[in-house]
A and B are shown apart, each in its own frame.
Chain A
Amino acid sequence: MTALMQPGFWVFILTMSGIYGIFTLGLQIQYGVGGILNFGHVGMMALSSYTMAILIISHGINFWIAAAIGVAVAALGGALLGLTTLRLRRDYFAIASIAFSEIVRYVIYNSDGLTGGVQGSLAIPVTGENYPSYTDTWDSIINRARDILTPIFGEIVDRDFVMAIIVWTTLGILLLIVSRVERTSWARVLRATREDDEVPAALGKNVFRFRFQAVIIGSVIGGIAGIFWGLQSSLLSPDDFLTLVTFYGWMILILAGATKVKGLPIAAIFFGFLYGGSRFFTFWPFSMLDASERAYVRIMIIGIVLIILMMSRPQGIFGKRQEMVLE
């Protein structure tokens, strides 16, 4: 239990929840507004973080440009997914999107010369004087921020603390932007397409275009989450981007109530605690399990939460039921 008393633990949980919160916000605009079942969202995170890492390590490109290109590549990934498969029936699109993210992962896994393959970002080929780290610029930014923040918050300020503040500031800004966007007429049309294709089409709205835009916006947000993911872990591996991660996002989304953004931060923190906290479940009965077994239990608990939520409260903690039973 002592781990739970350490501020560092809570800072870690906050950082993870913030990153997952950003990730889920991308799903929220796609499903919560557009009714699009994207089960390949983790692919966008993989695209942006790997693009950033490769550009910095192999080509020595400036961090900011590399991160921006990373997010742009995630958007391109969303465009590719949307252009090819978004016209499909809803369930077929869900399946195709899983295939999309798995293809991304397999390609990363098997392109040793580009991505480092199984060995992850440490094996990304370097040029000249470089070495396989992509966080140098970021580290110096963190250090500068630390110097500014230490007088305000005191000794507690470390790398993770600064990271948590940056991640949550970003999440806050994105939440504001998205909740503004969701009050526009654009979002109202998109919401109408969620209920029914034909009525908006009869009113002269191009249903596909609205959905396509939603996928792109969601992918950009997923891409931003990917950048933070890469910076937080400072090491990428293809196994970071299993389809499992997409379902973590879905769990947060359902918990928060998919149609509203306001519950999202709390749901993200709940998930972060479940995800990060369970590795510190060292008390009985969990004390009978070793670390890897606790990891199994963690995912099992997430599965059980998913089942119970969908069985008893599919509208989530903050949602409205009638907005969730739609097909």
Chain B
Amino acid sequence: MAEFVQLLFNGLVAGSIFGIAALGISLVYSVLRLVNFAAGDFLTLGAFTTFFLATSIHLPFIVAVLLSMLLGVVISLILEFLLWRKLRRTGAGLLALFLVATGVAFVLRQTISLIFGGNSQKFDIDQIKTFEFLGAQIAQAQLAVLCCASVAITFIALFIKKSTIGKNMRAYADNPSLASVSGINVDRVIIATWTISGAFGALAGVFQGTVQGQFTNGMGLDLFLSILAAVILGTIGDAYGALIGGFVLGVVMELSTWDALLGGIPSTYKPVVAFAVLVIVLLFKPEGIFGVKARKV
């Protein structure tokens, strides 16, 4: 029981991070039809800039996090004006979008590596402090991440549901041409999309860095496919689906190591569980758990 509670809690923490990161990817896909292969590296960016601002310049942690999110937004918008806008206008195909996103990922990750080096870094946070809950050891840092992530998720879910720009985003994702003829400002929708994706990507990176304790320049890349699994599990393009997909995936990955389940798998195989979920969902329900049967494209 204690082990189950522990794994469930770990799963929820991991899931909240997957959910936040997956939401950005799913939104970008719904509005721009772009699978952002660079999304993982925005997590790394968030973690490293927060580390730099909080640990080297000694800004208050919360300020450092907010500035990192801002940087994530700025870089996302620069890329939008520099690359994505032009690619959309020229009607670039799937391969061009994939490869440009991959190129962006390379440049971003190597820039981070050049600035911060290849060593692992850690936030100035007490990782050891834990308390007992139903026999499970709960780290305070993990609990803090889960709480903050829940607040962020609630905020963003309400924003997409209630705000005008959120409604515009959903309308545009549903039917771009209909949305633009009914007077929706497309540029604003796109900017809002990148803003959410950049900011929450960086935030997810900070959360992941906090939970992991130590992180390297490969952190986001290692997580990317798992996040993508959450995106597809929750129906690609569906923001709420991505959040739920993230939680489901996080819990499934943790519980897969549970002894009671046929001895569980070694925890080093956790990413393989995510990739397997990705492939299985694509095979049997490519429209995701919430999707209606997708039209054949």
A113 to chain B, nearest CB (A): 13
Q: Within the assembled complex, what's the spacing in Å between the Cα atoms of A106 and B273?
A: 11
Contacts A88-B286, A102-B275 given; indicate if A95 touches B232 (C-beta within 8 A).
yes
Which B residues between 253 and 297 are near A, CB-CB below 8 angstroms? 266, 268-269, 271-272, 275-276, 278-279, 282-283, 286, 294, 296-297
The answer to whether A96 and B282 touch across the interface, beta carbons within 8 angstroms, is: yes
Contacts A107-B272, A297-B114 given; indicate if A100 touches B279 (C-beta within 8 A).
yes
The answer to whether A326 and B93 touch across the interface, beta carbons within 8 angstroms, is: yes
Q: Within the assembled complex, what's the spacing in Å between the Cα atoms of A96 and B279?
A: 6
What residues of chain A lie closer than 8 Å to B117, measured between beta carbons?
292
Instruction: Mark interface residues in A234-260 (1 if CB within 8 Å of B CB, else 0).
Output: 000000000010010011001000000
The answer to whether A85 and B283 touch across the interface, beta carbons within 8 angstroms, is: yes
The answer to whether A311 and B87 touch across the interface, beta carbons within 8 angstroms, is: yes
User: Smallest CB-CB separation from B222: which chain A residue?
Assistant: A102
B205 to chain A, nearest CB (A): 19
Q: Which listed residue (B35, B103, B268, B278) contacts A91, Cβ 8 A?
A: B35
B102 part of interface (Cβ distance < 8 Å): yes
B24 to chain A, nearest CB (A): 16
How many residue pairs link A and B with beta carbons under 8 A? The number is 129
The answer to whether A96 and B100 touch across the interface, beta carbons within 8 angstroms, is: no
- Chain B interface helix/strand/loop/mixed: helix
A245 to chain B, nearest CB (A): 12
B86 part of interface (Cβ distance < 8 Å): yes
The answer to whether A311 and B86 touch across the interface, beta carbons within 8 angstroms, is: yes
The answer to whether B278 and A250 touch across the interface, beta carbons within 8 angstroms, is: no
B138 part of interface (Cβ distance < 8 Å): no
Contacts A37-B94, A106-B272 given; indicate if A95 touches B86 (C-beta within 8 A).
no
B121 part of interface (Cβ distance < 8 Å): no
Contacts A92-B286, A106-B271 given; indicate if A304 touches B103 (C-beta within 8 A).
yes
B118 part of interface (Cβ distance < 8 Å): yes
Q: Within the assembled complex, what's the spacing in Å between the Cα atoms of A250 and B94?
A: 14
User: Smallest CB-CB separation from A89: which chain B residue?
Assistant: B297
The answer to whether A37 and B114 touch across the interface, beta carbons within 8 angstroms, is: no
- Chain A interface helix/strand/loop/mixed: helix
The answer to whether B279 and A99 touch across the interface, beta carbons within 8 angstroms, is: yes
Which A residues between 250 and 273 are near B, CB-CB below 8 angstroms? 250-251, 254
The answer to whether B103 and A84 touch across the interface, beta carbons within 8 angstroms, is: no
Most buried by A among B86, B266, B297: B297
User: Smallest CB-CB separation from A39: which chain B residue?
Assistant: B98
User: Smallest CB-CB separation from A308: which chain B residue?
Assistant: B103
B151 part of interface (Cβ distance < 8 Å): no
The answer to whether B94 and A296 touch across the interface, beta carbons within 8 angstroms, is: no
What residues of chain B lie closer than 8 Å to A304, measured between beta carbons?
103, 107
A110 part of interface (Cβ distance < 8 Å): yes
Contacts A98-B225, A302-B106, A327-B93 given; indicate if A293 touches B114 (C-beta within 8 A).
yes
What residues of chain B lie closer than 8 Å to A306, measured between beta carbons?
99-100, 102-103, 106
The answer to whether B110 and A297 touch across the interface, beta carbons within 8 angstroms, is: yes
The answer to whether A95 and B107 touch across the interface, beta carbons within 8 angstroms, is: no
What residues of chain B lie closer than 8 Å to A307, measured between beta carbons?
83, 100, 103-104, 107
What residues of chain A lie closer than 8 Å to B92, measured between beta carbons?
310, 314, 325
Q: Within the assembled complex, what's the spacing in Å between the Cα atoms of A196 and B283?
A: 22
Contacts A96-B282, A304-B107, A306-B102 given; indicate if A106 touches B269 (C-beta within 8 A).
yes
A103 part of interface (Cβ distance < 8 Å): yes
Q: Within the assembled complex, what's the spacing in Å between the Cα atoms of A305 and B46?
A: 25
A101 to chain B, nearest CB (A): 10
Which A residues between 51 and 98 are near B, CB-CB below 8 angstroms? 84-85, 88-92, 94-96, 98
Which B residues between 68 and 98 are near A, CB-CB below 8 angstroms? 83, 86-87, 91-96, 98
What residues of chain B lie closer than 8 Å to A251, measured between beta carbons?
99
B251 part of interface (Cβ distance < 8 Å): no
Instruction: Mark interface residues in B99-130 (1 if CB within 8 Å of A CB, else 0).
Output: 11011111101110110011000000000000
Q: Within the assembled complex, what's the spacing in Å between the Cα atoms of A92 and B286?
A: 8
Q: Within the assembled complex, what's the spacing in Å between the Cα atoms of A310 and B93?
A: 10
The answer to whether A89 and B275 touch across the interface, beta carbons within 8 angstroms, is: no
A300 part of interface (Cβ distance < 8 Å): yes
A303 part of interface (Cβ distance < 8 Å): yes
What residues of chain A lie closer than 8 Å to B91, measured between beta carbons?
325
What residues of chain A lie closer than 8 Å to B95, measured between beta carbons?
31, 37, 310, 314
Which B residues between 214 and 273 are near A, CB-CB below 8 angstroms? 225, 228-229, 232, 266, 268-269, 271-272
A84 to chain B, nearest CB (A): 6
Q: Within the assembled complex, what's the spacing in Å between the Cα atoms of A247 and B37?
A: 12
What residues of chain B lie closer than 8 Å to A305, measured between beta carbons?
103
What residues of chain A lie closer than 8 Å to B283, measured between beta carbons?
84-85, 88
A-B contacts, 19 of them at CB < 8 A, read A85-B279, A85-B282, A85-B283, A89-B296, A94-B94, A99-B279, A102-B271, A103-B275, A247-B99, A250-B102, A254-B99, A292-B117, A297-B114, A299-B109, A307-B104, A309-B99, A314-B92, A314-B93, A326-B93
Given contacts A250-B99, A296-B110, A304-B107, 15 further A-B contacts (CB under 8 A): A31-B95, A37-B98, A90-B94, A91-B35, A91-B94, A102-B225, A106-B271, A254-B99, A299-B106, A302-B103, A303-B102, A304-B103, A310-B87, A310-B92, A310-B100
Binding site for A on B (CB under 8 A): 35, 83, 86-87, 91-96, 98-100, 102-107, 109-111, 113-114, 117-118, 225, 228-229, 232, 266, 268-269, 271-272, 275-276, 278-279, 282-283, 286, 294, 296-297
Closest 4 CB pairs of A and B: A303-B106, A306-B103, A300-B110, A307-B103
Binding site for B on A (CB under 8 A): 31, 37, 39, 84-85, 88-92, 94-96, 98-100, 102-103, 106-107, 109-110, 244, 247, 250-251, 254, 289, 292-293, 296-297, 299-300, 302-307, 309-311, 314, 324-327
